[in-house]
Homo-oligomer: A and B are copies of this chain.
Amino acid sequence: MTEQTSATDLSIPPYGEDTVSERMQSILDTGTALFAEKGYDATSMRDIASAAGVSKALLYHHFTSKEDIYARIAFSATQNLNQYVWDRIPADGTAAEKLRAFMVAAAQFFTHHRSAWVAASNAFWSDPDRHRMEQRLARRRAFEMMLRDIVRAGVESGEFGDVDPAMTGRLVLSGINWMHRWHDPEKTLTPEEIVNQYADILLGGLMAKAG
């Protein structure tokens, strides 16, 4: 029953192979909320400490630096995205079905990790840790490639018109990535409903050219 909570669920697993104590997790959760709300620079270690109800010194007992805290959040936010989305793309579907499934899955993941995602994307470029940075870039590239492959297959099979897979992928991801700038989680429309409407528009466009 619990044997399959591994790669495809929505929980945030520990950073690397460490286990995180309750205290650490509560600090991380507090930091996630603050980073998402105010941004990396505008969030001080004192802010995190007082919001978490602990002393600032304790942060440095559990983490090595502010960057460390942020990096764990950003790392977790994107860690399972690729696998999660990949698992939700029907292997035997049409290109249109796959594209829509990709968008919906990405939106679902986004919904569940909203704060961490916003925090991560707000400060995406300021990670001084080369290795971690490259890991994240590699994951992002793989994510984009998954999308382009779907579009390319559709173009080659004639299901889509003769569009550039890279450019189409960028347009799709623009819609998904920009969503957090205007979407209000309190409002009626869920991210899934939004990307489904996006998919309606986009898929119509792609198929119009195929005749």
Contact = CB atoms under 8 A, between A and B. Distances in A.
A166 to B, nearest CB: 10
Interface residues of A, number: 32
A155 to B, nearest CB: 12
A161 interface: yes
A200 to B, nearest CB: 7
A133 interface: no
A186 to B, nearest CB: 17
A171 interface: yes
A163 B41 contact: no
A98 to B, nearest CB: 17
A205 B175 CA distance: 15
28 contacts: A39-B41, A41-B41, A161-B204, A163-B201, A167-B198, A167-B201, A168-B201, A170-B175, A170-B178, A173-B178, A174-B174, A174-B175, A174-B177, A174-B178, A175-B175, A177-B178, A177-B181, A178-B178, A200-B205, A201-B206, A202-B202, A202-B205, A204-B206, A204-B208, A204-B209, A205-B205, A207-B208, A208-B208
Interface of A: 39, 41-42, 126, 161, 163-164, 167-168, 170-171, 173-175, 177-179, 181-182, 194, 197-198, 200-209
